[in-house]
Chains A and B, each alone.
Chain A
Amino acid sequence: MIEFLVEPLRYEFVRHALVVCTVGGALCGLVGTYVTLRGLSYLGHGLSHAIFGGAALSAAAGVNVFVGSWLWGLGSGVAISRLARSRGGRALRADAAIGVITTAGFAFGVFLLGRYGTVKRSLDATIFGSVLGVTATDQLLVAAVAVGTVVSILAWYRPLLFATFDPEVADVSGVPAGRTDAVLMVLLCGVILTSMRVMGVTLIAATIVIPSAAARFLTDSFAKVLVWSAVIGGFTGLAGMYLSYHLDVASGATIVLVQFTVFVISFALGGRTRRTRTEPVS
């Protein structure tokens, strides 16, 4: 067992990847709680695809991919929000707005990939995820985003919860829906970007949705769901990365399968105990 845990640490890129997977997984779990409880699970999936367009554009233009992708992601989020609220919110449902903007972003990325073949090499890892070449900079980046995310959630904890649970009443109670949406979008783009390298565009959505879905079966308290979701995300990131190394399978796929296993266990165990706790009175 000790050998199982210690042996991969001989390689620097694996050490970096373990940190990125653990911290990134915890971050995805944390922010994913808000995303899934707002019924926006599809947003994480869509945004990661939209960001692919930003990554492709940044790579083609020789701009810092992280900064370019983040800005692109934020722009996509604003566009989705504007589109969903256009004409008093009656013209287009949010899921349709997400579908339009994010698939267009993804298609733009594919277009650039075909047009400028030189960017292909760096983009393969973006689509499918890779632990190869995870650097100390990536570690620092995920740490910085983690600090920013935790500080933001602590600062905005109540408004974010209020706007997530009861947006209309939150709005009339002085919690600006637009600002909380923007905070969430900034955080979501940050966690997607920091985890996308090891998870890949195609699987990042799972790390946003599954930990919070699994945590929901364990507790009825929002604060505890938030903590459980981060713990599950972090643990499955770490465990999945170790398994990925030893089984020589893609990191993103292994992490998602470990998360799914935790989800099934949580559903089987937690669902039963929670039902007894929440049985309605008379």
Chain B
Amino acid sequence: MNQTPDRLVELQGVTCDLGHGPVLTDIDLTVERGTFAGVVGPSGSGKTTLLRTLLGTVDPTKGEVLRREGLRIGYVPQTETIDWSFPVTVGEVLTMARPARRFRPWTDTIERATVSDLLDRLGLGGLQRRHIRALSGGQQQRVFLARAMLGSPDLLLLDEPMSGVDVGTRHELLHLLADLHAEGNTIVLTTHDLNGVATHLPRLVALNRTVVAAGPPAEVLVPEALEQTYGAPFEVLVHAGLRLVVDAPHGHTHGHSHAATHEGQGAT
């Protein structure tokens, strides 16, 4: 975590309307350098729109988005939006985002070394010539993370990076993101997975068209905030310092903790 926080993006009273009524309403949010945050909320709560507003592909209908001058953002889209039948190799995915020498689009020695180093670092060494469909779910996510990182971004935005991956891959990706954060990267991701992902992150934003709660999991993963966000009652169990969210039977919403020997894994 960077010791001298620096505001990268700031949303001030932002409202977004994509044509069918407001998707986001009156959002105040600041992304500081060194942040590692997750945006949680139910389907249709505006998580992706919030990410796109930070990114700049969605313009607010009201309010202001302030970006640090010269801010470079790396964006990792949802894997569901990728055309997996497109003929493209891992190496081509990485280099397509880089500026090429004029009239010589092929890679040179220096670029090949840069790409190779990054792939090795992300555990993708030797896969440059593989087609993207011929990779595991975790590898596919890491390819698009690598493409985003190749531009040395100040801010990494990931849209549902753990969606559709198994538990092992989820842990692997969480550890990778935690390592990248420890190296000084600023990361904001969206997730619908409260127990598998959100609880492991240092900071959360609970969203349901507007910011319901923001802060560390201890402040956001609480029954009141969750009920306000999801419109349904929840219980929160504290398990070896890790907060676990479960559906509350019969509207019972009293959070409680117990001293089981659960071992928290992940990003915190």
Contact = CB atoms under 8 A, between A and B. Distances in A.
Contacts of A169: 75, 77, 97
A24 B262 CA distance: 68
Contacts of A168: 57, 77, 81
A279 interface: yes
Contact of B82 (A157, A166, A170, A224): A166
Interface in A160-212: 161-162, 165-166, 168-173
B75 A221 contact: no
B56 interface: yes
How many chain B residues sit at the interface, stated as a range, is: 35 or more
B77 A280 contact: no
Interface string A210-242: 000000100111111100000000000000000
Contact of B92 (A88, A90, A222, A277): A222
Interface string B90-107: 001101111110111110
Contacts of A220: 87-89, 131, 134
Contact of B88 (A88, A171, A173, A222): A222
B151 interface: yes
Contacts of B86: 37, 165, 222
A197 B99 CA distance: 38
Contacts of A151: 103
B83 interface: yes
Contact of A282 (B82, B98, B136): B136
Contacts of B18: 88
Interface in B69-90: 73, 75, 77, 81-83, 86-89
Contacts of B181: none
A280 B57 contact: no
A280 B92 contact: no
A219 B134 CA distance: 13
B9 to A, nearest CB: 13
Contacts of A37: 86-87
A161 B134 contact: no
Contacts of A247: none
Given A158-B96, A165-B96, A223-B92, A278 B133 contact: yes
B96 A280 contact: no
A172 B100 contact: no
A258 B219 CA distance: 68
B55 interface: yes
B131 A278 contact: yes
Contacts of B83: 165
Contacts of A87: 19
B160 to A, nearest CB: 15
Contacts of A279: 134
A220 B131 CA distance: 6
B139 interface: yes
Nearest to B55: A172
Contact of A157 (B81, B100, B135, B139): B100
B105 A165 contact: no
Nearest to B57: A172
A140 to B, nearest CB: 23
B131 A166 contact: no
Given A168-B77, A173-B97, A220-B131, A158 B105 contact: yes
Given A169-B75, A172-B75, A221-B87, A277 B56 contact: no
A162 B139 CA distance: 20
A173 B56 CA distance: 11
A220 B87 CA distance: 5
A161 B136 contact: no
A211 to B, nearest CB: 14
Most buried by B among A37, A151, A220, A224: A220
A6 interface: no
A263 to B, nearest CB: 15
A2 interface: no
A271 to B, nearest CB: 12
A166 B77 contact: yes
Given A280-B133, A281-B136, A158 B102 contact: no
Given A168-B77, A279-B134, 19 more contacts: A90-B19, A155-B103, A158-B96, A158-B98, A158-B100, A161-B96, A162-B97, A165-B86, A165-B93, A168-B81, A219-B87, A220-B131, A220-B134, A222-B92, A277-B131, A278-B134, A280-B133, A281-B134, A282-B136
Interchain residue pairs A-B with the least CB separation, the first 7: A157-B105, A220-B131, A278-B134, A162-B96, A154-B103, A225-B87, A278-B131
6 contacts: A151-B103, A155-B102, A165-B96, A170-B97, A220-B134, A222-B88
Interface of A: 37, 87-88, 90, 151, 154-155, 157-158, 161-162, 165-166, 168-173, 216, 219-225, 277-282
